[in-house]
A and B are shown apart, each in its own frame.
Chain A
């Protein structure tokens, strides 16, 4: 090689460097493809799982809070009211609206024969909102309220029962059964979460 002119030596060096064979290139590409696909698949699956789990967690938290709030109000109720106001009501007790009559109280305790009204109802326009309103009597120190119990409501159903769990008209109910369904946070309708409670009115 010594005898070769400088230009020829450069060409020869280049020629001597080993490139990738076609087979090697294909194998590497294939490995990249397989590994990439596997990783992408893992990532996609994991992200999906993460989304669905976090939405389940969200719906679970929502349903826990909503059920707890509704249960406490039913426990304290004297009766299920026909509606609120009782004359020409804006909210009427039905299978998806609950109007509770709860004894009013002030600093010295419960005020006899005086009531605040708690309304639990699906929002008329945004039907995924479950709302709770509190309308206190003028003598009561209970705070008025307009609160969203959950923003992922699918459905809510109230049933009115007597002591023996027979279905009765709402104004004679001694117990209220509540079935609440909420959507997962990502809005996938076929994965709803449901809770059912039956609560006795303690102040009846």
Chain B
């Protein structure tokens, strides 16, 4: 019996051993998990540091222009190294690496590579974008692709669109409410920075609609200093004479690229439709962050002539108890109401391959779903009555952008007299007169080019951007009409991503004359007639067409690419560097 004593102890030792082993396994596992979680956090920190490095490089380039990078910059709990190279005249490649905690002994590191260029990117989101003039398709014509129009679509017999079709709810042509200063009572209201000790970051103007109905868009008169970011525009209800932060009715984005250094009216559309009540106070609020070198200026009326609203500012509108301070100005704005009925109207044999979205759908065979308020003689896979009207889409180029291009062209040189023969190069400069290039001519463009008369491109003419532009794009602004005969080609520098935009400012809205005539082209350029009618009179392939109104002649079929990522237009020596969209890479 003596030999058997201590069995409990042995048993206990075994159990304690096992428990210890398990405990060690738990501690080990927890340690691994802790390390993994730490690494994940550190990895994200490194990535954010690298993005900060890219911002730092951009800021340095825009301040000095000769910045080539930094070996190591300490920032918070980590550090950044930046390397800037110049692959060509128009762009810089920025490689920024974030290290945690230091470059010498990194536990985590991430590198981001981007290309920056002096210029401005424009978003051409739709292959064909049409303004309030709408779209007319004559018999047997068709579109291979989708379509977004702010105006009515009229489709004659046997016409077709293979993709989705959107017609936005119609906008009343005149503003319902507006405040617009007149000299000498116009003042600059600076926001988006600290002004005299006040962080004036969120700025609001109230108004009372004159009618009940949906608000379709607003316009605000702005200019910018430096390169501030896009602004979120909110429409808020009123609470005791101040914007009600808990009652945001809808939001929109004010695209910074549309704003220049001169005051212009900038349109903002909203992400969703909202119904406003007559004589009720609402607030238009612009929400920015502080940046002493990149900020905004809103044109303001020091006489405060608008009696149905007032201006206020806050340093943080979304604070628990935001402080709103009255200003001694009315800020220049316009509100446009909806309520204009828009439609897609078909005829026998008319087909839409995708879905159709419009207030009124009539005489259509729709393969996809139908979204509408009113329908008449349509067939569709699914029916969605009472659907809200699609929101209007802003045109991708503003009046301010065009003015700036014209100014740059004029600064480069002014030439008077018509041009009617072929020449090897054109631009930069302002050409006072008409320009007609003869059959088979090849012209190299150095932008910006501004032609005050018309532009005729005869058969087989090739207009191309100089090869030195690399991935950058360029623009020709024509005040008169543009005519493109057979096999005309407008193209960029030859490098993928580069485009030449041919833009006419001709206004067809009152006289109904064609501003841009395209006949049988395989066009790789951007065709733009923001206030004009574009007439396509033969089979064409388009990369991008934007027009106030588009007409397709009998039997014409157009094919187009599905929008452009973000062509980058050079902005001349005064421009600032910004990131070329699509070049962000994590290495």
Contact = CB atoms under 8 A, between A and B. Distances in A.
Contact of B8 (A32, A57, A78, A164): A32
Nearest to B248: A164
A78 B582 contact: yes
Contact of A39 (B11, B36, B40, B584): B11
A46 B232 contact: no
Contact of B33 (A42, A57, A110): A57
B586 interface: yes
B22 A47 contact: yes
A203 B581 contact: yes
Interface in A72-92: 72, 75-76, 78
A145 interface: no
B230 A163 contact: yes
B39 to A, nearest CB: 8
Contacts of A112: 471, 495-498, 565, 582
A47 B23 CA distance: 9
Interface size bracket, A side: 35 or more
B426 interface: no
A61 B582 contact: no
Interface stretch (B24-32, B324-332, B381-389, B402-410): B24-32
A95 interface: no
Contacts of A36: 11
B271 A166 contact: yes
B582 A103 contact: yes
A134 B455 CA distance: 47
B11 A113 contact: no
Which of A46, A72, A111, A204 has the largest number of chain B CB atoms within 10 A? A46
Contacts of B43: 68
Interface in A149-167: 162-164, 166
Interface size bracket, B side: 35 or more
A113 B582 CA distance: 8
A75 B243 CA distance: 34
Nearest to B51: A202
A163 B230 CA distance: 10
B251 A164 contact: yes
B8 to A, nearest CB: 5
B261 interface: no
A101 B431 CA distance: 42
A5 interface: no
Contact of B251 (A35, A46, A109, A166): A166
A106 to B, nearest CB: 11
Interface stretch (B12-20, B219-227, B340-348): B12-20
Contacts of B32: 57, 61
B15 A60 contact: no
B19 A46 contact: yes
Interface in A98-144: 103, 105, 109-114
Given A46-B22, A49-B26, A50-B25, A109 B115 contact: yes
B8 A31 contact: yes
Contacts of B232: 163-164
B262 interface: no
Contacts of B253: 163-164
Given A64-B40, A68-B43, A166-B251, A109 B15 contact: no
25 contacts: A31-B8, A35-B11, A39-B15, A46-B22, A47-B18, A50-B22, A57-B29, A60-B37, A61-B33, A64-B37, A71-B44, A72-B47, A109-B113, A109-B115, A109-B583, A110-B115, A110-B582, A112-B498, A112-B565, A162-B271, A166-B251, A166-B271, A166-B272, A168-B271, A203-B581
Given A47-B18, A112-B495, A164-B232, 6 more contacts: A32-B8, A43-B18, A72-B47, A103-B585, A114-B496, A166-B251
Interface of B: 7-8, 11-12, 15, 18-19, 22-23, 25-26, 29-30, 32-33, 36-37, 39-40, 43-44, 47, 87, 93, 113, 115, 230, 232, 251, 253, 271-272, 471, 495-498, 564-565, 581-586
